[in-house]
Amino acid sequence: MLASTGYVLAAGGLAAANEALFSPLLTGQAPWKSLNWKIVPATGVLALVLAGFEKLAPKFGAGLGALVLLSVLVIRTGNAPSPLENLSSLLGYSNKTLKKGTLL
């Protein structure tokens, strides 16, 4: 398996798990109810495209795959907050404390 494919599959799995399990459990909703099913084919198509890029330029394709994984951690990719936002909510930090800079 190519490096970019592993990154993209991890990003797609993380985004799907975040929408299907993590976010609903934090908000008290039923799991799997708010899953955006478009994530599954989008992950497959992106994995194929980045595999093609990696065949042409190996470091470039793998780097793009790593950037996809990092962006899924930070950016909202669907109906739920990002995994890092969910983690901060789970740990008890709210947006108010993050904006005031009390964490630092």
Residue 104 has pLDDT above 50, yes or no: no
Q: Encode pLDDT of 42-63 as tens digits.
A: 999 999 999 999 999 999 999 9
Mean pLDDT computed over 32-40: 84
**What per-residue confidence (pLDDT) applies to 91?**
82
* DSSP per residue, 32-97: TSS--TTHHHHHHHHHHHHHHHHHH-HHHHHHHHHHHHHHHHHS--SSS--HHHHHHHHTT--HHH
**What per-residue confidence (pLDDT) applies to 88?**
85
pTM (two decimals) = 0.80
